[in-house]
């Protein structure tokens, strides 16, 4: 019992396949009478409507857009930034009656990259521009939009983007700490890519060399970090790659940074979740952020406001919304958007002393 197709119906009814097709898609192309007869017969034969795939092949469009994550999807659902972005993105997609496909392409998982090749979508969005999935998508000639410029090279690539000026944001945060008189600063960065060093202290120049050696594939906040390092030039700066961007990783970093005699006076994480995790570590040790050690993050999550965390707020929802709009409307002229950000000073950062 094979599947019923328009052809079968046409044969049985003695009409052309085109008539059956028109009965479903273009009612004005045939008489109302014949149309109802075709539809009735189709229902009786168990025909379930035009096949989606065949239609897509014909039209060349799927009305589906992919979102690529460089972590497991369970991470995407648990990270507040991802969720907020995804919610805004999906709201626009829903409004336009487009569907969303989720792709998980963990770094280093070469096999998972095939999913990008096999995805029947009209375009793809991702949080980070230099993740393998996005690179592959661009190679495939697929419309892409990404929401973080990881490296300067990304900006010169072929993809569209909706970003903030992460380098400038890093500079601002550095300036803030400098004004507060901090001279010894630790920077917590994520290095989501597998097999990379974690929880080791680096001088900025060594870390730079490490990143360059990995051709930008080492982590996703290069510009942000570059701004920080540049802005903190002359001070004693130490970089700690903590692994995955998560509250747990930030907390773990507390072990390395707090349980020592020569504690830094300030710690900046390149994301709020890491900073919040680090604050958890402070709390566990009875230390008060801002007094015992200044702490700052990036992103501007609601959770950061509750915790009194100094941060750089970025318009997450606008990123998601605009990314969706760029994908949906290829004729929009402005396809490389830089949104404003804002330094928000809270009680977690205070003057040294």
d(CA 176, CA 202) in angstroms, rounded, equals 22
| Contact partner at residue 283 from its own copies, DNA, none, CB < 5 to 8 Å by partner kind | none
| Contact partner at residue 21 from its own copies, DNA, none, CB < 5 to 8 Å by partner kind | DNA
- List beta partners, residue 312: 343
Q: Per this entry, what is the length of the chain? A: 353
Edge-to-edge strands, sheet with 266-269: 236-241, 184-189, 266-269, 294-296
CB of 140 to its own copies, least distance (A): 4
Considering the complex, state which of residue 159 and residue 204 has its C-beta at the smaller distance from its own copies: 159
Pick one of 11, 31, 46, 291: the residue that binds DNA (CB under 7 A): 31
Tokens of 226: 């570059």
| Contact partner at residue 26 from its own copies, DNA, none, CB < 5 to 8 Å by partner kind | DNA
Tokens of 77: 């659902």
- List beta partners, residue 241: 189
Q: State which of positions 44-63 bind DNA (CB under 7 A).
A: 49-51, 54-55, 57-60
Considering the complex, state which of residue 54 and residue 200 has its C-beta at the smaller distance from DNA: 54
Interacting residues with its own copies (CB under 8 A): 3, 46, 48-50, 52-57, 60, 62-64, 72-74, 77-78, 83, 86-88, 90-91, 94, 97, 99-104, 111-112, 114-115, 117-120, 139-141
CB of 220 to DNA, least distance (A): 32
d(CA 92, CA 247) in angstroms, rounded, equals 29
| Contact partner at residue 19 from its own copies, DNA, none, CB < 5 to 8 Å by partner kind | DNA
Q: What residue ranges in the chain does DSSP mark as E strands?
A: 64-69, 99-104, 123-126, 144-146, 160-164, 184-189, 236-241, 266-269, 294-296, 311-313, 336-339, 342-344
Kindly list the residues in this chain that would bind DNA in the complex (CB under 7 A): 2-3, 5-7, 14-19, 21-22, 24-26, 29-31, 33-35, 49-51, 54-55, 57-60
């Amino acid at each position: 019992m094979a599947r019923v197709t328009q052809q079968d119906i046409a044969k049985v009814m003695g009409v052309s396949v085109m008539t059956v097709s028109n009965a479903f898609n273009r009612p004005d192309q045939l008489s109302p009478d014949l149309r109802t007869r075709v539809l009735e017969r189709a229902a009786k034969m168990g025909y379930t409507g035009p096949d989606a795939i065949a239609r897509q092949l014909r039209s060349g469009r799927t009305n589906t857009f992919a979102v690529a994550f460089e972590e497991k999807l369970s991470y995407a659902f648990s990270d507040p930034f991802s969720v907020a972005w995804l919610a805004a993105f999906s709201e626009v997609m829903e409004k336009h009656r487009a569907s969303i496909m989720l792709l998980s392409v963990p770094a280093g998982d070469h096999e998972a990259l095939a999913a990008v090749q096999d995805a029947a979508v009209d375009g793809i969005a991702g949080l980070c521009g230099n993740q393998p999935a996005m690179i592959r998508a661009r190679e495939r000639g697929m419309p892409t939009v990404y929401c973080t410029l990881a490296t300067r090279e990304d900006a010169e690539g072929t993809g569209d983007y909706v970003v903030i000026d992460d380098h400038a944001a890093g500079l601002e945060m550095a300036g803030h700490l400098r004004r507060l008189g901090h001279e010894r600063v630790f920077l917590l960065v994520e290095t989501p890519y597998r097999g990379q060093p974690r929880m080791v202290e680096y001088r900025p120049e060594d870390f730079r060399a490490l990143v360059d050696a990995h051709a930008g594939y080492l982590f996703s906040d290069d510009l942000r970090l570059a701004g920080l390092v540049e802005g903190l030039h002359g001070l004693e700066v130490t970089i700690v790659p903590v692994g995955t961007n998560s509250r747990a990783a930030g907390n773990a970093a507390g072990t390395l940074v707090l349980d020592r005699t020569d504690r830094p006076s300030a710690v900046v994480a390149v994301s709020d979740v890491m900073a919040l995790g680090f604050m958890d570590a402070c709390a566990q040790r009875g230390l008060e952020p801002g007094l015992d050690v200044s702490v700052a993050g990036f992103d501007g999550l609601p959770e950061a406001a509750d915790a009194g965390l100094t941060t750089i707020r970025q318009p997450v929802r606008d990123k998601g919304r605009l990314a969706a709009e760029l994908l949906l409307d290829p004729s929009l002229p402005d396809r490389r958007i830089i949104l404003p950000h804002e330094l928000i000073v809270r009680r977690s950062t205070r003057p040294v002393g």
